[in-house]
């Protein structure tokens, strides 16, 4: 049977046959919002249905820094979970170097992952030519979400670019509504920053910044100016706010816009709102912008427990199976990682993402281009600039030195 079409039932049977019924799978992840929890429940329910025992270990903290710390400490300390979530890119490079992860090459070959995954995504997942992680979705962090009803009320045109968004935000101000819901946490501020960067100079400026680590030049300066301009549209309650609470403001009509990855769409879905009807979306860099490769993988630490690896591999196969890809991603707000599943019924925002993948408009993200250390330092510098009156020249200098770490 073609691996694409292997049914959920077949995968589940294989799990049972492999002895997964005896297997307890402890899974560390950072999916604690309503939409995220609903998404991971799809995996948990399927694993449980196969007779396995799913032990959920959610670690709160959007963007996952806290979860990754717990995972690193536990794995290095000899008490690894069965599986743990990471983003694509370099976050799990260190634990591979330490020899702490099982490689998934045999199931990847069996499941034809090299064929299923678009080339650039394959490159983002593989390390030294090997699969140490199962990819489960494609997220793009550079989305903008808006409340359609509020925009209509303010007489604002629905934007497709950041320039048009500023026009609409002025109208929202005019009717006394918070134009932009931002969660004032470093990683969220940095997402807004990278959205502005793409809107300002597209792929070229993005690569100049994160690949060449070059922040000289008018494009980067312009990005800082525009980013600072956004501050004038944010409410006083922003500092410290979780991302999903910012999304809730848009859902409930308390704010017009949010710049956030499409995991925010999982919140709209969870609130029974429909894309194109209740809320709208556009990509921060405009309709033809490259889709920065983001999203999630699971890794599987080596374990001394008997049969652990069998269950780990079956869990990986379940996660990437066609039926799970549809069920999970519809809830998560992301798009399936494999190109052979039926996506025709997905919403209009997902269709824009799928089109980008089809056209190969994919961009290696900062997670792939920077070490976690350099990325963290850069985000700290962005946050300092956002939260203070730091002069632009000083900010450019500190961002440049962060990138070169």
Among 183, 290, 295, 336, binds ligand BGC (CB under 6 A): 295
Q: Which residue is nearest to ligand BGC (CB)?
A: 263
* CB 92 within 8 Å of CB 101: yes
> Residues binding ligand BGC: what is the number (CB under 6 A)?
11
d(CA 100, CA 303): 9
Task: By CB under 6 A, tell whether 379 contacts ligand BGC.
Answer: no
Among 20, 23, 27, 36, binds ligand BGC (CB under 6 A): 36
For ligand BGC, the closer of residues 59 and 230 by Cβ is: 59
Tokens of 87: 């983003």
Identify which range of 149-157, 163-171, 291-299, 368-376 contacts ligand BGC by CB under 6 A.
291-299
CB atoms near residue 232 (< 10 Å): 12
For ligand BGC, the closer of residues 36 and 215 by Cβ is: 36
β-strand pairing of 296-299 with 133-135: antiparallel
**Strands, sheet with 24-29, edge to edge from the N-terminal-most edge strand:** 53-58, 24-29, 83-87, 296-299, 133-135
Identify which range of 144-152, 161-169, 202-210, 293-301 contacts ligand BGC by CB under 6 A.
293-301
Q: How many CA atoms lie within 13 A of 214 on its CB side?
A: 10
Task: By CB under 6 A, tell whether 263 contacts ligand BGC.
Answer: yes
d(CA 60, CA 57): 10
Identify which range of 58-66, 163-171, 215-223, 373-381 contacts ligand BGC by CB under 6 A.
58-66
Task: By CB under 6 A, tell whether 63 contacts ligand BGC.
Answer: yes
Identify which range of 14-22, 47-55, 61-69, 123-131 contacts ligand BGC by CB under 6 A.
61-69
For ligand BGC, the closer of residues 184 and 219 by Cβ is: 184
Question: CB under 8 Å to 376, separation ≥6 — which residues?
Answer: 65
Identify which range of 150-158, 198-206, 278-286, 289-297 contacts ligand BGC by CB under 6 A.
289-297
d(CA 285, CA 118): 22
Among candidate residues 337, 298, 309, the one with its CA nearest the CA of residue 43: 298
Query: Least separation, in Å, of the C-beta of 366 and ligand BGC?
Result: 12
Task: By CB under 6 A, tell whether 139 contacts ligand BGC.
Answer: yes
Q: How many CA atoms lie within 13 A of 204 on its CB side?
A: 5
> Is the four-CA dihedral 123, 364, 209, 290 of positive or negative sign?
positive
Residues that bind ligand BGC (CB under 6 A): 30, 36, 62-64, 87, 139, 263, 294-296
């Amino acid at each position: 049977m073609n691996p694409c079409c292997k049914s959920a039932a077949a995968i589940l049977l294989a799990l049972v046959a492999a002895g997964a019924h005896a297997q307890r799978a402890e899974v560390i992840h950072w999916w604690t919002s309503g939409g995220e929890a609903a998404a991971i429940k799809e995996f948990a329910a399927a694993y449980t249905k196969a007779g396995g025992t799913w032990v959920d270990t959610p670690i709160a903290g959007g963007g996952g820094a806290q979860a990754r710390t717990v995972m690193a400490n536990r794995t290095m300390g000899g008490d690894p979970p069965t599986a743990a979530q990471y983003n694509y890119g370099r976050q799990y490079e260190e634990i591979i170097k330490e020899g702490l992860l099982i490689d998934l090459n045999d199931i990847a070959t069996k499941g034809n992952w090299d064929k299923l995954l678009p080339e650039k995504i394959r490159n983002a997942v593989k390390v030294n030519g090997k699969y140490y992680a199962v990819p489960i979705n494609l997220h793009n962090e550079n989305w903008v979400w808006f409340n359609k009803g509020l925009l209509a009320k303010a007489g604002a045109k629905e934007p497709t670019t950041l320039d048009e968004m500023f026009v609409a935000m002025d109208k929202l101000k005019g009717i006394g509504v918070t134009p932009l819901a931002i969660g004032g946490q470093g990683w969220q501020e940095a997402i807004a920053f990278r959205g502005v960067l793409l809107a300002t100079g597209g792929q070229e400026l993005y690569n100049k910044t994160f690949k060449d680590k070059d922040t000289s030049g008018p494009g980067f300066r312009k990005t800082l100016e525009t980013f600072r301009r956004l501050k004038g549209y944010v409410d006083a309650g922003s500092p410290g706010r979780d991302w999903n609470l910012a999304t809730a403001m848009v859902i409930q009509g308390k704010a017009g816009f949010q710049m956030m990855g499409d995991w925010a769409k999982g919140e709209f879905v969870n609130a029974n709102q429909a894309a194109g009807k209740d809320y709208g979306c556009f990509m921060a860099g405009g309709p033809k912008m490259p889709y920065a490769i983001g999203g999630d993988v699971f890794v599987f630490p080596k374990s001394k427990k008997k049969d652990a690896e069998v269950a780990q591999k079956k869990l990986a196969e379940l996660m990437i199976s066609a039926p799970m890809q549809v069920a999970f991603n519809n809830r998560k707000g992301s798009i399936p990682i494999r190109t052979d599943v039926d996506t025709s019924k997905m919403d209009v925002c997902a269709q824009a993402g799928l089109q980008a993948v089809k056209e190969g408009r994919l961009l290696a993200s900062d997670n792939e281009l920077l070490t976690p250390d350099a990325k963290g330092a850069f985000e700290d510098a962005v946050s300092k600039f956002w939260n203070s009156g730091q002069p632009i020249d000083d900010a450019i200098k500190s961002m440049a030195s962060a990138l070169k770490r």
